[in-house]
Structure 1
Amino acid sequence: MVVRREKKSRKLRGSRTMGWGIRGQHRDRGAQGSRQIGMHKEKWSWLVKYGKGWYGKHGFRNPTTKLVSTISLRRLNELLINGSIKLEEKDGKKVLDLNQLGYEKLLGGGNLSIAVVIKVKKASAKAVEKVKQIGGEVILSPTE
């Protein structure tokens, strides 16, 4: 550290605040570190307002887990009845491409009320069986 040859107070006589600003005058402790320091003390008001879930354990995400977007027959039936999903007509059959809608797998929970040809990457055995029972078909497209 450099040694101050002359005292600062000798240089700044007549300046009232002596170079320490108009509010604190060298009384407080400053910012006290980065965002994570002092959260239970001087930065508590910030934490209450913005830092929900700051303290405590929060688990971890397994990096090997692959998330697959799925849809059940129950949900698919609701969307078909509501008219949220439009069916295409090909060769007198109603065709539905779940790959275009962003779904990767068809699950067998619930039932379908309409006989539909469904194109999807994956489907459970139960889902395939239920669709065949009502006169539909599941076409499994190859995965990229």
Structure 2
Amino acid sequence: MVRRFKPAIKYRRGTRTHGWGRVGQHRKSGSSGGKGMVGFHKHKWSFVMVHAEETSGWPFYGKHGFKQPKQISVEWRPINVGRLEELVEEMESRGAAVKEGGRYVVDLLKLGYNKLLGGGEVSRPLVVYTPVATRAAVEKIAKAGGEVRIVHGVIHR
């Protein structure tokens, strides 16, 4: 059967301090050196060094990482070369892509994309204007007879 009180508690009933010495000890947060994370860089530093990972103080003490300012952070809007090839005829009918000399010319910035990725396959020649492209995307488009032209100065990095 579960006991409501430990035997020591029952034994100490009426002793006022329950074995914690002078009156006021073991009350509230003063006996522990402060509430919560207080004192971790002063009188509780040994606790930080014992329980922190690799004794660096983390995660108890210090700042962790940073938040990049919005004006310099880039919100990537990528598209794969395979998806681009699927959409190219539809884009030509809308006027978003132009056919010049047997090759489709596509400006990804006008379409709302800012990065070209190398997923999928390309069979027709494309000329793609984009701020950023992966090596795989450039190789696949070149293999199909097209080219990737990088637009500089659009994305701050």
Match of 1:74 among 70, 82, 88: 82
- 2:124 paired with 1:114: yes
Match of 1:139 among 129, 149, 153: 149
Taking structure 1 as the reference length, the TM-score comes to 0.50
Q: State the match for 1:88 in structure 2.
A: 98
CA 1:88/1:141 → structure 2, altered by over 3 Å: closer, same or farther?
A: same
Q: State the match for 2:30 in structure 1.
A: none
- CA displacement 1:60-109 (0-9 Å, x = unmatched): xx74263211001122122125x1x2231335532111111111000001
**Secondary structure, counterpart of 2:105 in structure 1:** strand
Aligned counterparts of 1:101 and 1:91: Cα–Cα separation in 2: 22
Offset, 1:125: 0.5
Match of 1:105 among 115, 118, 141: 115
Q: State the match for 1:20 in structure 2.
A: none
Q: Could you tell me which amino acid in structure 2 is paired with residue 80 of structure 1?
A: V
Aligned counterparts of 1:116 and 1:131: Cα–Cα separation in 2: 7
* Gap runs ≥5 in structure 2: 1-65
Q: Could you tell me which amino acid in structure 2 is paired with residue 124 of structure 1?
A: T
The 5-angstrom pairing of residues 1-144 of structure 1 reads: 63-64=67-68, 66-81=74-89, 83=90, 85-86=91-92, 87-91=97-101, 93-144=103-154
CA 1:133/1:142 → structure 2, altered by over 3 Å: closer, same or farther?
A: same
Aligned counterparts of 1:139 and 1:114: Cα–Cα separation in 2: 17
Taking structure 2 as the reference length, the TM-score comes to 0.46
Aligned counterparts of 1:137 and 1:73: Cα–Cα separation in 2: 12
Aligned counterparts of 1:92 and 1:131: Cα–Cα separation in 2: 14
* Gap runs ≥5 in structure 1: 1-61
Aligned counterparts of 1:89 and 1:73: Cα–Cα separation in 2: 17
RMSD value, Cα: 1.9
